[in-house]
């Protein structure tokens, strides 16, 4: 009976092919096996074991099976010796030891068993074995006997129930520090559809001897009655049960608290009918199904929660068709349900095993052995592409166990056929391997999100995903992998800070998904929200209530959008071009935000490997404005909607989020840079482009495309590096086309390098001129002074004349021109220069054009003559 940890290459563990002689008790964490016979030795030493021996467990593996897993992780098991005596044992997951609890000297079948946290009391529900029942079938007697045993040391036995119906038992495990002998609470669940709670006090006698106080009058309380289905959540000490009504079923939840009280927390209507499906219990011990072949004939119902305040009810009705299977998931924390219909492929592929629902934290796995495996995203179930759907044709299905399983709290899974207990988890290496191998876009999307959500080492996973993106940059048709990675990874980097992040920050770049997934049909319906029956909430209940309040009152999505940042950024850039700018304090605050983000990013970079890509080497004011504006708007957005969270914490979250976003862009570029072994000399123009530079230029273009449509900031220096690579890699007409369409954005740093590094050959002159005429005026004036060429002088002259004549008022015409002041007899030019000279002579004009580096009418005249001679080829 091994307890093993999950698979090397699948989502949950494969039982393996171990023979019964290999069965050993292991901890639920999959630690090294204990020596066989430990439990047998404990049984021999514990007393009340006639004929017990050290090897009793060694010889009875086939009869050994798990009865229960308590809240503290301890496993209760049972086995029989060759005389039919029933032994109860406990495996302590802390000490890794087996302990004998009790022995019944009679051949009995155990229905249920539980031990209290102090290990002073054992509750067991038993029925006579098949052989004994045949002997006594004519004698009247009780079918089921429920006993309470004093086991510290073994003392008295009290009969709690002796009835003709089955009874299940379960001790409560409150999380409190108490004195050694507290009052124990025991739940009794009867097949007659009621649940009682027994309050049991124990006292010490004769030193260490523990006995039940007032064993003849144990107080009891009725917890629930007239139910048809019930589920026990051991980890959270919650009881879910169904109260059947005429047209629908009502799901109710009782919370057992640390003060040993219990409270009805909510009532939730379910559009399912269970009144005719018989009586069923979930997670009240590890009972084996008597007729597993009839599983598809009965409905399956499970309730799953997690720490984020989610509440999911998974339901599979009995199978009416061998061609398709239908199941529903009620996402109460989202306000809707989804009904999935999965085609089974062949009409002859009969379903002989039932559906298994497994709780995997942010996901619910839905598994039909041999047919399909679905991994449903319960945190973001809006789009079907965020969940994974594998059919029986997938190799993964063959790797998973083909026997029905049962899910317990804490991701424990019991294989009913083998009796093995597993810890199920999502295997990161296999998820990454699957991401590399799949060709379907919806599987890529689902795997990308699943890997980020369930990853234990974010830096490693991000590096692996970036490697995949760099190799598959053009392999996705239905979504942009760069966009999806940047948005999802930035979101998950701060998601643990508060449970409301899924409502306030975007987690996906995809807003709608209209592509059908073969073999799956989906129907989404709104559902009635649970009615909370209490008014003060803590921990999980506070988060669930917040989710329900959001569904009730916040139908419009509150996700942060960059539309406000886009408008404000364009406004600031427009003001800069016209020479106007709003208050210096406002702009300074925005730039200070950017400085904090970049400083935070550079501080984190110092810890990791130094970057090779030459970013952050310049003051890119436009990108700094964009970073600062995003920080400002995002902070205001979170402050409006995150009530009760400190302002400093929100500011730090925004800083981390913005830094993470820039860091991911840097990582993508850095990975490509290292892969192609580029060096800093790529920034110089005196060399030809290589294939590596073409590859990096392509990656940068895809990054720019991804961020532009989402209006996300880029690291300062990105546009400079992109433009320089573009000059290297593109023919002139393509380069100019990229510039004119905004793919390449000219920066002062990039153009300065171009002017300084390139000589004045005919080809380079054409390139320089084409670049200079496309520069904004405030940059063009600076750049032209670096280029000692007639074309540069011509451009400078044109800008100078444009400024002088902007407000020029024409004076009365005079035919008299003093020719003595001109060296060339070219009347139109002479008249024009005279006009410029007159304008420059005014004090107002001189004041307006101070600092123009000796650009005057004389300079304009010389530039005009040189340009004319150049055009005439003189």
| Per-residue model confidence as pLDDT tens digits over 511-546 | 899 899 998 999 999 999 999 998 888 889 999 998
Tell me if 244 is assigned to some domain: no
Backbone angles phi, psi at 332, to 5 degrees: -65, -30
Do residue 170 and residue 55 come from a single domain?
A: yes
| Res 553: pLDDT | 83
Do residue 714 and residue 592 come from a single domain?
A: yes
Please, which residues bridge with residue 388 across strands?
Answer: 375
Closest CA to 744 of 766, 778, 721: 721
Do residue 692 and residue 607 come from a single domain?
A: yes
**CB distance 35 to 45 below 8 Å:** no
E strand spans, 520-579 = 520-526, 531-532
53 band by pLDDT with thresholds 50, 70 and 90: very low
Residue 1 in this model has a pLDDT that exceeds 80: no
Do residue 131 and residue 86 come from a single domain?
A: yes
| Res 380: pLDDT | 93
User: Which residue, 177, 204, 235, sits at the end of a domain?
Assistant: 235
Do residue 781 and residue 815 come from a single domain?
A: no
CB atoms within 10 A of CB 32: 8
Tell me if 305 is assigned to some domain: no
CB atoms within 10 A of CB 85: 21
Q: Percent of the chain, pLDDT > 90?
A: 35
Q: Which two tokens stand for residue 475?
A: 């392999």
- Backbone Cα Rg of the chain: 38
Tell me if 743 is assigned to some domain: yes
Do residue 222 and residue 81 come from a single domain?
A: yes
SS3 call for 170: strand
Q: Which two tokens stand for residue 526?
A: 């709104």
pLDDT tens for residues 302-361? 999 998 899 999 999 887 777 889 999 999 999 999 999 998 865 455 666 778 898 988
Do residue 716 and residue 608 come from a single domain?
A: yes
| Res 865: pLDDT | 62
465 band by pLDDT with thresholds 50, 70 and 90: very high
| Res 520: pLDDT | 94
Tell me if 437 is assigned to some domain: no
Do residue 781 and residue 822 come from a single domain?
A: no
Q: Which domain holds residue 93?
A: 3-235
Distance between CA 837 and CA 856 in Å, rounded?
Answer: 8
CB atoms within 10 A of CB 429: 10
User: Which residue, 235, 263, 291, sits at the end of a domain?
Assistant: 235
Q: Which two tokens stand for residue 725?
A: 């690579």
- 424 burial (CB, 10 Å; 0-12 / 13-18 / 19+) is buried
CB atoms within 10 A of CB 534: 12
| Res 789: pLDDT | 57
191 vs 245: which has the higher pLDDT: 191
Residue 27 in this model has a pLDDT that exceeds 50: no
The DSSP bridge pattern shows strands 3-5 and 421-423 to be parallel
Beta-carbon contacts of 227 under 8 Å, excluding residues fewer than 6 positions away, are 193, 194, 195, 241, 242, 243, 244
622 band by pLDDT with thresholds 50, 70 and 90: confident
Tell me if 251 is assigned to some domain: no
Backbone angles phi, psi at 94, to 5 degrees: -85, -50
Residue 141 in this model has a pLDDT that exceeds 60: no
Number of folded domains in the chain?
Answer: 3
| Res 788: pLDDT | 59
703 band by pLDDT with thresholds 50, 70 and 90: very high
| Res 356: pLDDT | 86
Q: Which two tokens stand for residue 444?
A: 């890529």
Q: H or E segment at 634?
A: helix 621-641
Do residue 637 and residue 737 come from a single domain?
A: yes
Q: Percent of the chain, pLDDT > 70?
A: 74
Distance between CA 423 and CA 407 in Å, rounded?
Answer: 10
Q: H or E segment at 551?
A: helix 539-553
Mean pLDDT, residues 839-860? 54
- 653 burial (CB, 10 Å; 0-12 / 13-18 / 19+) is buried
Please, which residues bridge with residue 225 across strands?
Answer: 194
Do residue 821 and residue 697 come from a single domain?
A: no
| Res 229: pLDDT | 92
Mean pLDDT, residues 59-63? 61
849 vs 579: which has the higher pLDDT: 579
Residue 190 in this model has a pLDDT that exceeds 90: yes
Tell me if 724 is assigned to some domain: yes
148 band by pLDDT with thresholds 50, 70 and 90: very high
**CB distance 65 to 416 below 8 Å:** no
Tell me if 576 is assigned to some domain: yes
User: Which residue, 188, 208, 235, sits at the end of a domain?
Assistant: 235
Q: Which two tokens stand for residue 773?
A: 């005429």
Residue 37 in this model has a pLDDT that exceeds 60: no
Do residue 755 and residue 866 come from a single domain?
A: no
Tell me if 297 is assigned to some domain: no
Do residue 783 and residue 826 come from a single domain?
A: no
75 vs 843: which has the higher pLDDT: 75
DSSP string of 112-138? EEEE-TTS-EEEEEEEE-HHHHHHTTT
Residue 818 in this model has a pLDDT that exceeds 90: no
């Amino acid at each position: 009976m091994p307890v093993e940890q999950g698979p090397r290459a699948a989502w949950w563990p494969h039982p393996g092919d171990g023979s019964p002689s290999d069965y050993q008790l292991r901890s639920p964490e999959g630690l090294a096996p204990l020596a066989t016979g430990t439990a047998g030795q404990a049984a021999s030493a514990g007393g009340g074991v006639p004929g017990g021996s050290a090897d009793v467990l060694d010889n009875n593996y086939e009869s050994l099976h798990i009865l229960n897993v308590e809240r503290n992780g301890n496993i209760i098991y049972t086995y029989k010796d060759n005389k039919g005596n029933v032994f109860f044992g406990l495996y302590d997951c802390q000490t890794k030891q087996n302990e004998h609890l009790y022995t019944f000297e009679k051949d009995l079948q155990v229905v249920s068993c539980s031990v209290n946290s102090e290990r002073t009391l054992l509750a067991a529900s038993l029925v006579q074995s098949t052989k004994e029942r045949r002997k006594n079938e004519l004698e009247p007697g009780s079918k089921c006997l429920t006993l309470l045993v004093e086991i510290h040391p073994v003392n008295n036995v009290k009969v709690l129930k002796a009835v003709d119906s089955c009874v299940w038992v379960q001790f409560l495990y409150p999380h409190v520090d108490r004195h050694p002998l507290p009052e124990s609470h025991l739940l009794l669940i009867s097949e007659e559809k009621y649940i009682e709670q027994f309050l049991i006090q124990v006292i010490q006698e004769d030193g260490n001897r523990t006995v039940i106080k007032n064993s003849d009058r144990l107080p009891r309380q009725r917890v629930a009655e007239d139910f048809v289905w019930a589920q026990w959540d051991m980890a959270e000490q919650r009881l879910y049960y169904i109260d059947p009504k005429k047209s629908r079923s009502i799901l109710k939840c009782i919370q057992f608290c640390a003060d040993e009280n219990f409270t009805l927390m909510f009532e939730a209507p379910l559009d399912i009918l269970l009144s005719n499906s018989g009586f069923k219990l979930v997670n009240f011990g590890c009972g084996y199904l008597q007729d597993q072949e009839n599983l598809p004939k009965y409905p399956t119902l499970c309730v799953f929660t997690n720490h984020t305040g989610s509440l999911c009810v998974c339901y599979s009705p009995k199978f009416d068709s061998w061609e398709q299977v239908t199941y529903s998931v009620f996402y109460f924390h989202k306000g809707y349900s989804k009904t999935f219909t999965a085609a089974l492929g062949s009409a002859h592929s009969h379903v002989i095993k039932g559906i298994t629902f497994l709780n995997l934290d942010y996901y619910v796995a839905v598994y039909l052995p041999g047919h399909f495996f679905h991994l449903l995203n319960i945190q973001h179930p809006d789009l079907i592409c965020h969940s994974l759907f594998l059919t029986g044709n997938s190799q993964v299905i063959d790797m998973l166990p083909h026997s029905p399983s049962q899910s317990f709290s804490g991701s424990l899974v019991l294989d009913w056929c083998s009796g093995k207990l597993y810890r199920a988890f999502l295997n990161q290496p296999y998820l990454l391997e699957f991401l590399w191998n799949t060709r379907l876009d919806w599987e890529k999307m689902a795997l990308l999100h699943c890997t980020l959500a369930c990853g234990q080492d974010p830096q490693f996973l991000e590096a692996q995903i970036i490697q995949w993106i760099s190799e598959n940059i053009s392999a996705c048709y239905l979504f942009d992998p760069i966009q999806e990675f940047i948005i999802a990874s930035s979101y998950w980097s701060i998601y643990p800070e508060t449970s409301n992040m899924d409502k306030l920050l975007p987690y996906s770049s995809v807003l709608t998904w209209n592509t059908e997934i073969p073999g799956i049909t989906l129907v989404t319906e709104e559902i009635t929200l649970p009615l909370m029956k209490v008014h003060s909430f803590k921990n999980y209940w506070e988060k669930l209530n917040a989710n329900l309040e959001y569904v009730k009152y916040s139908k419009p999505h509150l996700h942060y959008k960059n539309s406000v940042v886009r408008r404000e950024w364009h406004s600031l850039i427009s003001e800069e071009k016209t020479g106007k700018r709003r208050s210096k304090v406002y702009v300074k605050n925005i730039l200070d935000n950017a400085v904090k983000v970049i400083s935070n990013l550079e501080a984190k970079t110092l810890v990791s490997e130094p970057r090779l890509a030459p970013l952050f080497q310049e003051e890119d004011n436009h990108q700094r404005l964009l970073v600062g504006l995003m920080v400002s708007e995002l902070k205001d957005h979170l402050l409006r909607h995150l009530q009760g969270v400190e302002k400093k914490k929100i500011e730090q979250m925004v800083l981390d989020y913005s830094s993470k976003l820039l860091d991911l862009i840097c990582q993508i570029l850095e990975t490509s840079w290292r892969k192609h072994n580029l060096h800093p000399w790529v920034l110089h123009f005196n060399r030809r482009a290589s294939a590596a530079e073409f590859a990096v230029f392509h990656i940068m273009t895809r990054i720019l495309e991804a961020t532009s449509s989402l209006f996300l900031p880029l690291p300062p220096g990105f546009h400079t590096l992109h433009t320089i690579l573009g000059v290297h890699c593109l023919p002139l007409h393509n380069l100019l086309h990229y510039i004119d369409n905004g793919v390449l954005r000219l920066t002062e740093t990039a153009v300065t390098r171009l002017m300084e590094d390139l000589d004045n050959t005919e080809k380079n002159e054409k390139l320089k001129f084409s670049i200079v005429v496309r520069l904004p005026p405030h940059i063009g004036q600076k750049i032209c002074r670096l280029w000692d060429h007639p074309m540069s002088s011509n451009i400078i002259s044109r800008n100078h004349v444009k400024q002088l004549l902007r407000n020029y008022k024409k004076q009365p015409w005079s035919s008299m021109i003093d020719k003595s002041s001109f060296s060339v007899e070219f009347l139109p030019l002479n008249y024009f220069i005279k006009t410029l000279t007159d304008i420059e002579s005014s004090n107002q004009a001189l004041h307006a054009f101070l600092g123009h580096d000796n650009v005057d009418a004389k300079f304009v005249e010389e530039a005009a003559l040189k340009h004319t001679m150049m055009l005439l080829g003189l």
